[in-house]
Structure 1
Amino acid sequence: MRYAFIITIIVLLQLFSFGAALSLEWWLQPWSTPALIMIMWIAIFAITNILLLLSVTKSFANSYRWISAWLLVMHFILLTAMLTGLLYGGFWLLSALGDNAFYNTETIAIGLRIFALVFFIGLFNYTLYSAYVPAVREISIKINKPLNNPLRIAVASDLHLGRLFGSKAIERLNDIVQRYQADVLLMPGDIMDDNTTAFTDYNMAEDLAKLVSSLPYGVYATLGNHDLYGHEQPIREALQNAGVQLLNDEVTCLSHQGQPIWFIGRFDNHKRQRVATTELLGQVNTAEPVILLDHRPSDIVVHSELPIDLQVSGHTHNGQIFPANFIVNAINRLGYGYEKIGKGHFVVSSGYGFWGIPFRLGSRSEVWLITLNGDGSNNADNA
C-alpha cells in the first residue's frame, strides 16, 4: 500500500510537470524559440524530480515544504490554463457564430496571455490572504439540557504554530476572542507544527499565556496527530506552562455561573492506546452539558448516538487546496462545517492555521464562535 501511494505521487508529479510545461509553452509562444522551449521543458522536469528526490531522501529539514510549494505553483499554472482555455473557447464560439472580422486573433492572443499572468498572480495573493486572514463563523445552538446562561465558545483548531505561523497569529486570535466576548477557547489538536523549535525560538509562550489569561475560563485543548510525531512531551509541557488546560483522554468540569459543563478531550487516533469515548463518558454526568474535543471527525457517526451535546474537531483543513475539499467531504460524514446529527451538534473547522505552505484555495483560515444555549437560557436560538 505504501509503495502504491509513492508510485501514485510520482506519476501525478510527472503529469503536473507535463501540464505546466505545455501551458507555459503556449504562454511563451509569441516570444519563444525552439531552444528556449526545450530549456523550459527540461527545467520544469528537473525541478520536479530533484525536489522529489530531496524530499524522499529527507536531505534537508522541511524538504516537504519545497516539493509542496512547487506542486502548488504547477497546480496554479494548470488552473490558469484551464480558465484561459475556457475564455479562448468562448471567443472562438462567438467568432464562429458572428462576424469573424470583429475578432482580431492576434489581439485576443495577447489579451489572453495578459489575463493568464494577472490571474496567476491574483491567485497567489488570494490564497495567501485566505491562509493568513481568518474568517469568523458565528452560530447559535440549543441543547436539551439545563443551562440558564449562554456559553460563548471560540474554536480554533489546527494552529500548526511554527516559523510561518506564530506570534502575530496568536495576537490576532486574542483580538478575535476579545472582540466577540468569548468565555472559553477550545483548540482541538495540531497546535504545534510537529515540534516546539519555532515556538521556543520566537518566544510564543508569552503570547499564548496572554491569550489564556484574557479568557474568563481560559483555553482547553487536546493533542492532534502533528503534536504526537515524536515531540509529545515537550509540546505538552510548553502548552501547560503557558496555562493551556490539556485534556488528553481526560475529563473536567467547568462551573459556568454556578452550572456544570463537562469537557472531554481525546487523543488523536495516532495514539493507538487512546481511551474509548464511552469510557470517558462514564466519568461525567451526562444529564449535564457535555462538550467533546476530538481532533479528527472520523468518529462522528458513532458519537452522534452518544449523550454528547457538542463535538468540535479539525484535522481536515477543508482540503486546504482545491479540489482536495471535495475529497475531504467524500470520505467523511462531516468533512467541514456544522451539522446536527443524531443526538448531538458537530462542528468541523477548516483550521486557524495551515499545514506545510501558507496557501488556501477553496478553504479559509477561520475561528468559530459558538453560542451554546440550553433549557432556561436567555435568547436561546436554534442553529
Structure 2
Amino acid sequence: MMNLVFIVAIILVLGIYSGINYYIGLKGFELINSVFPFIAPKVFWPIFLLVAFSYIISRFVSKILPEPVSYIITLVGSYWIAAMVYFIIFIIMIKLVFLFDRWLSFIPSHLKTSQISNYVSLFVIALVLLILVIGTWQARNPVTVKYDISINKDGGKIKNLHAILISDVHLGTLVRKGQLDKMVRLINEKNPDIVFIAGDLIDDDIKPFKDQNMLESLQQIKTKYGVYYCLGNHEYYGGSSEEIAEIFRNSGIKLLKDDFTSIENSIYIIGREDMGSRSHLKKPRKNLSSLISGLDKSKPLILLDHQPSNLKEPIGKGIDLQLSGHTHRGQFFPFNFITNAIFENDWGYLKKNDFQLIVSSGLGSWGPPIRFLNNTELVEINISFNN
C-alpha cells in the first residue's frame, strides 16, 4: 500500500512539474518567436526540455557519467528549479493584475498590446536572472551570526565556551571541496573552543565526498575541545549512514548517533539520530529521556538534533541548549514563510524556561545553489556558565 501511495505521489509531482514547465515553455517560445521567428519549435523544445528536466535526469545518470558532465547537468538543473519558481511567482502576479483589471479597468488600453507584453516578459526574465546572481552571491558568502547566552549550571573546569555551529553544508556534487576549504578557513579564523555540526553535512550521494577527499579538509578544523557531529536526514536519504559512521570513526571528528560524550568531565554533548532515520534503519531513534537517563543533570547538557521539531521532548528534561539546522530558513524567499509556519522556531534563538534553542539557516545549500534574501551563515556562540 505504501509503495502504491509513493508511486502515485511521484506521478502527481512529475505531472505538476511537467505542466508548469510546459506553460513556461509556451510563454518562452512566444517571446523568442516574436524576436527570432526563424527558430522552429523542433529546435526550441528539445533544448528547453533538456534544461527543464536536467536536474531529474542527473539523479539517475550522475553515477554513470564522467564527473564534470554530471556536475554541469546538475548545476544547470538546479538553477532552472530556482528560475522556474520565480517565473511562476511573477506569472501569477501578472495574472492577478490582469484579473483585477477586468473588474477595475485601471490598465490603459495602449498598454495591452503584444509589444508591451514582450517588454514585460523581458523584464521578468531580467529580474529572474538578477535574483539568481544575487542568490548565488549570498549562497557563497556566509555571514557570521553571533549569540551570547548563559547556562545556569556549573561548567566545572570550563567557565566560558566559545563555540561555532554549522549545519546543512550538503557537501556533494554542487558544494565541492574548494567551497569547503573556504568554510574551514572561516571557522579557524574564529579560533573556536569547540565546533558543532548539526546534520546534513553530506548530501545524499557520498561519492563526491569521498572522491574529493573532503574529510581531509574537515580534519583541518582547529579547536580546543574537538568537533562534534550528528547526522541529518540527507545522510540517511543516500543510504550511507553506516558508511559515514565508518569514515568518521577514527577521523578526529566525533560522530554522535544517539550517543553522548563529555568534555573535561564538565559538559555533556549529546547527539541524536535524525528523525528521518526510522525509515532507513527500520527502527526508531532512542527516546531522549532514556538516552540521557544516566547523566548528571547538574552539569550542562548540550544537544545536537538536526531537526528542531517536537520541542516538548527536550524541554523539562534537563537539556540546556539544543543546536539544530534542517530548515534552511526556506533557503530562498518566499519559502521562509513556509518554514516559519511549520516550525515553532525555524531560525535563530528561542528560550523556554531553562531550555534554549539555536537553529542555523545552514552554511550550504540544497538543490539550487542560491540563497535569496536569506544568507548562509556561520553561527558563533559564546556560552557562559554559572560557576
TM-score bracket, shorter-length normalisation: 0.7 to 0.9
Do the aligned partners of 1:153 and 1:372 also contact (CA within 8 Å) in 2?
yes
Give the CA deviation at 1:309.
0.7
Matched with 1:381 is none
Matched with 1:6 is 10
1:368 to 2:376 alignment: no
1:328 to 324, 327, 339: 339
1:21 to 25, 30, 54: 25
Give the CA deviation at 1:265.
0.6
Give the CA deviation at 1:285.
1.1
RMSD in angstroms over aligned alpha carbons? 3.7
Q: How has the CA–CA distance of structure 1 residues 75 and 313 changed in structure 2, closer, same or farther, with 3 Å as cutoff?
A: same
Q: How has the CA–CA distance of structure 1 residues 105 and 254 changed in structure 2, closer, same or farther, with 3 Å as cutoff?
A: same
Give the CA deviation at 1:84.
7.1
Give the CA deviation at 1:153.
1.2
Q: How has the CA–CA distance of structure 1 residues 55 and 167 changed in structure 2, closer, same or farther, with 3 Å as cutoff?
A: closer
Structure 2 unaligned runs (5+)? 64-69
C-alpha distance in 1 between matches for 2:322 and 2:266: 17
Give the CA deviation at 1:335.
2.4
1:246 to 2:255 alignment: yes
C-alpha distance in 2 between matches for 1:155 and 1:67: 30
1:309 to 2:320 alignment: yes
1:288 to 275, 292, 299: 299
Matched with 1:266 is 272
C-alpha distance in 1 between matches for 2:107 and 2:333: 34
Q: How has the CA–CA distance of structure 1 residues 87 and 131 changed in structure 2, closer, same or farther, with 3 Å as cutoff?
A: farther
Matched with 1:218 is 226
Report the 3-state secondary structure (helix = DSSP H, G, I; strand = E; otherwise coil) of the residue aligned with 2:308: coil
C-alpha distance in 1 between matches for 2:343 and 2:6: 22
C-alpha distance in 1 between matches for 2:340 and 2:15: 24
Structure 1, 3-12 or 104-113: larger mean CA deviation: 104-113
C-alpha distance in 2 between matches for 1:69 and 1:19: 18
Say how many residue pairs are matched: 366
1:31-78 CA-partner distances (Å, limit 9, x unpaired): 2549757865676467657876x479x355478877554433322333
Give the CA deviation at 1:299.
2.6
1:128 to 2:136 alignment: yes
Do the aligned partners of 1:186 and 1:220 also contact (CA within 8 Å) in 2?
yes
Q: How has the CA–CA distance of structure 1 residues 360 and 149 changed in structure 2, closer, same or farther, with 3 Å as cutoff?
A: same
Give the CA deviation at 1:360.
2.5
* Alignment TM-score, normalising by the size of structure 1: 0.80
1:164 to 2:138 alignment: no
Give the CA deviation at 1:233.
3.1
Matched with 1:208 is 218
Give the CA deviation at 1:371.
1.2
Do the aligned partners of 2:74 and 2:174 also contact (CA within 8 Å) in 1?
no
Q: How has the CA–CA distance of structure 1 residues 3 and 330 changed in structure 2, closer, same or farther, with 3 Å as cutoff?
A: farther
Q: How has the CA–CA distance of structure 1 residues 5 and 165 changed in structure 2, closer, same or farther, with 3 Å as cutoff?
A: same
Do the aligned partners of 1:222 and 1:267 also contact (CA within 8 Å) in 2?
yes
* Alignment TM-score, normalising by the size of structure 2: 0.79
Matched with 1:144 is 152
Structure 1 unaligned runs (5+)? 377-383
Q: How many percent of aligned residue pairs carry the same amino acid?
A: 28
